[in-house]
Each structure stands twice: as structure tokens, then as C-alpha cells.
Amino acid sequence: MSLLALGLNHQTAPIGVRERIAFTSECLLPALHDLRARGGAHEAAILSTCNRTELYCHLRDNDGQQVVEWLAEYHLLHGIDLRPYLYQHTDQRAVRHLLRVASGLDSLVLGEPQILGQVKAAYQAANSAGTLGALLERLFQHTFAVAKQVRTDTRIGASPVSVAFAAVGLAKQIFADLPRRTALLIGAGDTIELVARHLHENALGRLIVANRTLERAHELVAPFNGYAIALDDIPAHLGEADMVITATASPGLLLEAPLVRRCLKQRRHGPMFMVDLAVPRDIDPTVAELDDVYLYTVDDLKDIIQENLRSRQAAAAQAEDIIDSQVEHFMAWLRTQDSAASIRALRQRAEMLRDEALARAQRQLAQGKDPAEVLSVLAHTLTNKLIHAPCAGLRTAAAEGDAETLALLRNLYRLHDGTPRP
């Protein structure tokens, strides 16, 4: 039995690779079922965000290579092409990795809070798919508690640093007159909502939000006095936008180069600032080749984000100490589960031997044999059967000079110089 965390993230893979193995919300449930059926996972959960795709699995009979092959095949890739970008953590390291991820310590933006919600969504999807068992259930519940402790006991989330914050900060560098500018935000998730809030706080002139569900777009823009449109209405409004920021879960491109080119003509080649925070990407990468367009992806925000991380470094060190302690706490629980299984097996074996000896004694009593003699034989037989395995182990260890096993058996059975301890 082993615990596996397998995946790639913004540190190990460029966006072109990450978007190829991303899982949409629609395909998560069938993917989880397939991972358990063909990937060798007894339990499974999938975390897929713009910055990472990770599989958390409880394995019984393999070392994780089957999971690697499954991930590649599921996305119509070759394992050999994918492996250079993958990291693989097992058991204690897997536990540590998930705790760090959920606490924001492995994020592009150190300490960002959105990742915890994304981990919870991954847990809920696996729960709905029925691919969680006792091990992953306990691990995720422990993870949520630890992430809450990190937020409560440190100041890792005190500074307003996020991908959304970085995107708005870049927009302020390009446009010094935000109150005179129009922003088109595409999507209506947590990231876009945070972008809208930062833009509103910086006195943006006009806000337009486009979303697949128009009702959700209306809900998002209401606090900011914005304007909601459907995705199909984007071509009619794109030319109005000085800045476009996207973060959807769309499987395909939403803004292609010909459309952007037409809008630039409408704008008389006024500059257009664009940030694509989605994986897979929402904006055609060739848009960057157009004059008067400044196109950035999540990978381009790294330098900006680094400037805003200094206040979180001390808090991160505190968080790492908390995680160190909590990793050991979980591993202690896991070890008790291993011992519990062994104890159950030992008890079952002892009860089987008892039942066999008792049945034999009952047959002898039914045949009219002396009860005292039957009881004596019962006690002798049961004692011999119960101590046979440890005695054989002691003899083998002694013959092989295995001092460690000898010491273990002596300690386990509380022996001292051959005399049982009370």
C-alpha cells in the first residue's frame, strides 16, 4: 500500500504542456472512474487548475508508473514525452506536498487563498465520483484543517498578493488613467471576481463581464456597477475594451486573432492590454504578434509577483514548521492503520486456532473422554499452536545472526533472558 502524488505545475512545465493535460470540470468524474479502472488506483482524486494538474492516489499493487502511463494516454500523449515535466511523491512526501499546496506554499503566488477552494473542489469531485476511500478521505480532511491552521496562526495571507492583483498591477503600469478606461473580463470565477474587485478599488472607469451564464455575470458585476454580457456578445463589445482579462474553463479558444484584428481597426489602433489567466488558454497566442496588443499569460506574471512576496516569507517559514508537525501527525495515524490491520490478522489467526482446538476438545468430550484430560490436551495444543510462529521466527533469526529481529521479538513478547515479563 502506498500514497502517490503525481503531477506537474508552473515550476516544472510551461503553459503549452499544462494546458494539454488539464482536466475540465465536465470530464473530471469520468476521468476519475477511468483512473481507478485502468490506472491502478484504489482511491483517486484529481486537482486541475491553471497552474497545476495533480493526481492523488492510494495504490496497492504498483509503483506509480501505471498512473503515469494513464495520464499520458488519457490526454493522447506518450509517457516518454510527459515524464520530463512530472514530479512524483510517495507516502510522507506526498502528504507534505498536498499540505503545502493547500496552504498556498507551492503556488505561483505564495500564500494565495484560492488554491484551498480548488483543493476542496477536487475533493468534492472525487467524493461525488465515489473514488475516495478511508485513506484519501482522512488525508483531505486533515489537509483542510492544516490549511485553516496556517491561515489562522500565520500572516501568510495578510498581503494582497495574487495572480489577479498582479494582473491589475500590470494594467496600472500600462494605463495611468484607469478612471478613463474600460475593462472586459471574461469568466465569472473566483479569479475574475478578484480582478473586478481590484479594478474597482483602483477607480476603473467602466467594467464589462462576459460569461457563459449571463445570470452569474450579472451577480458578479452588481457590486461594481458593471455591465454583464453573454459570451456570444463579445465581438460586439471587444472594441470598447482597453484591457481584456480572461479566466475561464473553456476547452477551446474564445478570442482568435482575426476577431482581435478587426477590433483594433475599430479602436483606430488604440493599445489593448490582454491577460490570459486560463489553462487551456482563452486567447489565441498569435494575438501577441499583432501591433498595439500587449498579451500576457500567467507565466508572464512571475516577475511582478516576486516583487510582492517579501512580506510573506517569514510567515511561510512559520507555515512550514506547522506542516512539518502535521505531516508527522498524519503519518502516525497512518502507521496505526497498518498496525490495526496486523492486529486484526493476528487476532483472526488466534481465534481460528482457538476454534479448531475447542472443536476437537468438544468432540472428545462427546466421546466420553475424561474432562480433565481433555482440558489438559486443549491447553497444551492451543499453547503450542499460538507460540509456534514466534518460536520459529526466533530460531531462524538466531541461526542467521539477525540481532534486530531477535530484539524485536523479545520486546514484542516482553521477554528478558528467556523469562516473560509481567
Residues 195, 298 within the same domain: yes
Number of domains present in the structure of the chain:
3
Kindly state whether residue 328 falls inside one of the protein's structural domains.
Answer: no
From the candidates 50, 57, 263, 391, give the one annotated as an active-site residue.
50
Q: Of 70, 67, 56, nearest to 3 (Cα)?
A: 56
| Max avg pLDDT among 155-164, 165-174, 204-213, 401-410 | 204-213
Residue-level pLDDT at 142 = 97
pLDDT above 90 covers a percentage of the chain that reads 63
Q: pTM, whole model, 2 decimals?
A: 0.67
Residues 92, 124 within the same domain: yes
Kindly state whether residue 407 falls inside one of the protein's structural domains.
Answer: yes
416's grid cell: 528478558
Range of the domain at 178: 163-305
Is residue 53's pLDDT more than 70?
Answer: yes
Residues 106, 120 within the same domain: yes
Residues 20, 152 within the same domain: yes
Q: Encode the chain in three state secondary structure.
A: CEEEEEEEECCCCCHHHHCCCCCCHHHHHHHHHHHHHHCCEEEEEEEECCCEEEEEEEECCCCCHHHHHHHHHHCCCCHHHHHHHCEEEEHHHHHHHHHHHHCCCCCCCCCCCHHHHHHHHHHHHHHHHCCCCHHHHHHHHHHHHHHHHHHHHCCCCCCCCCHHHHHHHHHHHHCCCHHHCEEEEECCCHHHHHHHHHHHHCCCCEEEEEECCHHHHHHHHHHHCCEEEEHHHHHHHHHHCCEEEECCCCCCCCECHHHHHHHHHHCCCCCEEEEECCCCCCECHHHHHCCCEEEEEHHHHHHHHHCCCHHHHHHHHHHHHHHHHHHHHHHHHHHHHHHHHHHHHHHHHHHHHHHHHHHHHHHHHHCCCCHHHHHHHHHHHHHHHHHHHHHHHHHHHHHCCCHHHHHHHHHHCCEECCEECC
CA distance 131 to 141: 15
Residues 263, 341 within the same domain: no
Q: Which residues of 243-252 are buried (b: 16+ CB within 10 A; e: fewer)?
A: bbbbbbbbee
More confident residue, 298 or 6: 6
Residue-level pLDDT at 111 = 87
Q: For this structure, is 50 an active site residue?
A: yes
Kindly state whether residue 321 falls inside one of the protein's structural domains.
Answer: no
Are residues 296 and 275 in contact, defined by beta-carbon separation less than 8 angstroms?
A: yes
Kindly state whether residue 289 falls inside one of the protein's structural domains.
Answer: yes
pLDDT tier at 387 (50, 70, 90 boundaries)?
A: confident
Looking at every residue in the chain, the average pLDDT score rounds to 90
Is residue 419's pLDDT more than 70?
Answer: no
- 171: how many CB neighbours lie within 10 A of its CB? 24
pLDDT tier at 221 (50, 70, 90 boundaries)?
A: very high
Residues 72, 211 within the same domain: no
Residue-level pLDDT at 328 = 95
158's grid cell: 495578510
Is residue 339's pLDDT more than 70?
Answer: no
Kindly state whether residue 318 falls inside one of the protein's structural domains.
Answer: no
Q: Mind listing the pLDDT tens digit for each residue in 341-372? A: 677 777 888 888 888 888 888 998 888 888 88
Are residues 111 and 315 in contact, defined by beta-carbon separation less than 8 angstroms?
A: yes
Give the number of C-alpha atoms closer than 13 A to the C-alpha of residue 115, restricted to the C-beta side: 28
Is residue 384's pLDDT more than 90?
Answer: no
Residue-level pLDDT at 414 = 76
Residue-level pLDDT at 159 = 65
CA distance 272 to 256: 14
Are residues 78 and 72 in contact, defined by beta-carbon separation less than 8 angstroms?
A: yes
More confident residue, 344 or 174: 174
Residues 226, 261 within the same domain: yes
Among 249, 282, 305, the domain-final residue is 305
Residue-level pLDDT at 231 = 96
Kindly state whether residue 21 falls inside one of the protein's structural domains.
Answer: yes
Q: Mind listing the pLDDT tens digit for each residue in 224-262? A: 999 999 999 999 999 999 999 999 989 999 999 999 999
Among 143, 159, 175, the domain-final residue is 159
More confident residue, 58 or 359: 58
Residues 146, 184 within the same domain: no
* Mean pLDDT (whole number) for 186-215: 95
CATH of the domain at 172: 3.40.50.720
Kindly state whether residue 317 falls inside one of the protein's structural domains.
Answer: no
Residues 130, 259 within the same domain: no
Residue-level pLDDT at 338 = 67
Residues 6+ apart with CB under 8 A from 40: 57, 59, 61, 62, 66, 67, 70
pLDDT tier at 422 (50, 70, 90 boundaries)?
A: low
Residues 153, 258 within the same domain: no
Kindly state whether residue 298 falls inside one of the protein's structural domains.
Answer: yes
Residues 94, 169 within the same domain: no
Among 110, 129, 159, the domain-final residue is 159
CA distance 276 to 158: 26
Residues 173, 261 within the same domain: yes
**Which of 197-211, 213-227, 299-313 shows the lowest mean pLDDT across its residues?**
299-313
Residue-level pLDDT at 421 = 53
- Degrees (nearest 5) of the Cα angle 302, 8, 130? 125
